[in-house]
Every structure is written in structure tokens, then in C-alpha cells.
A and B are shown apart, each in its own frame.
Chain A
């Protein structure tokens, strides 16, 4: 085989996709609760209990979502995925952190979120508390919950 060589060329580039998601009525009100009240709302759903974030309908019998239910800002971690080497601007945190599923007190399903500090200590079964951004900085996004923090 002929020896065809070249000095390596490299390129650092980025692809950006500026999405704007329409939230819909149910998630829209859930997010309004985060932004305006600093509280987390679920919904009573046939066959599924209190679902957080709310679905708007039942996945078991497709009936319409029932009453809104306020759940606690505290909960129990049901799954952990630790990110040891975050990718700049792709991940929500520059230093190592953990993605978690949190079953909030009063809820029957788990909410996906993250633990920014003490990520090395969080395990399945850890008790955590939602920490909200201050009022005025909240935009009506799941990121209005700044982080979950390990309870003392």
C-alpha cells in the first residue's frame, strides 16, 4: 500500500439547535406552579396514583387526569446516574454531578432531576430536598428547581 500521509488537521466546532417546546395545558400549569408558587404539583391519575410531573391522562385507561395534588419538596432517590466528566454546555453543570430520579413525598412516580453538590454521596434511598431558584429568577422551567440537595 502506498504511503500517503498528511499532518493531521483538526477542527473544534459546535452544533446548536435552538428549540422552543410548546408545553401544553397540563405541563404548562405544572411549570407555572414552579415559577409562581415555588411548589411542585402532581395530578391524581386513574390506575397510577399521584403522577409528577402530571400527565393529563391515564396510561392505563386513557381517562382524563383528575385533581391536582400538591406534593412535598422532599423525597427519596430511586435511581442515580453519575456524570464524572460533564461536557461543556451540553450538561447542566460543569463539575461532576448526578442525574437522579426522585420520588417526592406524596407522589407515586419519580421526577428526573439532578444533584449538583455531594454527587459522590448520593445513592438510591438518599433523602433529598428540592432547592428552588429565588423568585424573580424563575422562568417557568424544570430548571426553576436549581438542584436537589442531600437532606441532613
Chain B
């Protein structure tokens, strides 16, 4: 033998499999249990009164502890968004769809949300939306308990109301 085969192997499969064991802490467990009950919970900065969602132990702004868990309204304002035109493996959604940041009413920061029940090109900054939940019996205590957010039909929120909560 003076040479390897002329015809090369063209591909190799390399399947990376990463098993995780995730344990939620107190605040995250409270948040996820809340979702199962159809509630969005946040935590209140003991110094500034700002509400963070999902709830966190300490304010990243004032460093003060959050000593109170509060329930937020399940409606809010679209702040920033992205129109998704490329299908993602494991995401069985009709494209284009919209992934958005939604600032819930009363919250100091926004959460990541899927917007449905309107055309992708109708979504805009300031648009008012509300959560659509899975039926209570189907909720499992994770983010998919909120199926998506849909437009409420209310007039758009003024820019000043959300520009610091992107």
C-alpha cells in the first residue's frame, strides 16, 4: 500500500450531548410555582421599590435585598422585538414570528416573550399585550405555561413609559 483510498470520507457525525441537573433556588422556585398557578411573580427592591421579574435576591442597581414577593399583572408593553424568519430546530412555530421583550405593568425590567395573534409586521415598540395561559390542568411550572402574548387593542403606551425598561 502506498496511498490511502482516493475517495475521501466526506463527513463525520459528532453529536454533542450535554446532560444538566438544574436546581432552582428559593426565588426561582417561587417564580416557577407561581407560573403553575397562573401568576407572574416578581421581587421588590427594599431600597428603591423597583420590581424585578423573574424575582431576584438582590437589586443589581442598589444592591439592597429584595424582601418581598409581589404579583404582577400579566399584561404589559412591547419594548424591543425581533422578527424571526429562520426556523429553529425544536421550535414548531409558523414563521415569521416575533420574539419580544415585554415590560409587564409595574415591573422595572422586561421579560422575553413570544407575540402571536397578529401579523409580525404589526408588532411595534409600545404595543400593549397580554399573556395567554395554558389551561390550569396543563400548566407544569415552566415558561411555556404562558403560551404567548397577544395584542390587547389598547392605544400604544407612550415612549417615556417603557424606554427605561427595555
Check if B20 sits within 8 Å of A13, measured CB to CB. Answer: yes
A141: chain B residues at CB < 8 Å are: 9, 12-13
Partner of A11, one of B2, B22, B69: B22
Cα distance A64–B67 when bound, in Å?
Answer: 67
Binary per-residue interface labels of chain A (1-12) against chain B in the complex, 1 for a CB within 8 Å, 0 otherwise: 110111111111
Interface status of A65 (Cβ within 8 A of chain B):
no
Cβ–Cβ contact A8 & B5, under 8 A: no
| Contact (Cβ within 8 A) A88 B19 | yes
* B21 on the A face (CB < 8 A): yes
- Do residues A22 and B10 form an inter-chain contact, with CB atoms below 8 A? yes
Judging by beta carbons under 8 Å apart, are A32 and B5 in contact?
yes
Q: Which of B41-88 contact A (CB under 8 A)?
A: 65, 67-69
Of the residues A4, A20, A22, A89, contact of B26 by C-beta under 8 Å: A4
C-alpha gap A49/B137 in the complex (Å): 68
- B 1-55 contacts with A by CB, 8 A: 1-30, 32-33
Q: Helix, strand, loop or mixed for chain A's interface?
A: mixed
CB pair A87–B28 under 8 Å, yes or no, is: no
Report which of A8, A27, A37, A41 forms a contact with B23, defined as CB distance below 8 A: A8
Q: Which residue of A lies closest to B68 (CB)?
A: A2
A137 at interface, CB cutoff 8 A? no
Q: In the complex, what distance in Å separates the CA atom of A27 from the CA atom of B5?
A: 11
CB atoms of B1 and A9 under 8 A apart: no
| Residues of B within 8 A of A (CB-CB), count | 37
Contact present for A29 and B5 (CB under 8 Å): yes
B117 → A minimal CB distance (Å) = 29
Residue A39 CB within 8 A of the other chain: yes
Indicate if the CB atoms of B15 and A17 lie closer than 8 Å.
yes
A15 to B20, CA, bound (A): 8
> Is the Cβ of A23 less than 8 Å from the Cβ of B15?
no
B76 to chain A, nearest CB (A): 24
A99 within 8 A of B: no
Q: Write the residues of chain A forming the contact surface with B, with a CB cutoff of 8 angstroms.
A: 1-2, 4-25, 27-33, 35-37, 39, 41, 68, 70, 87-90, 140-142
11 A-B pairs in the complex with CB atoms less than 8 angstroms apart = A5-B26, A10-B21, A11-B20, A14-B19, A15-B20, A21-B13, A37-B1, A39-B4, A70-B1, A87-B19, A89-B19
Counting from the closest, the 6 A-B pairs by CB-CB distance are A28-B8, A140-B9, A33-B4, A2-B67, A6-B29, A31-B9
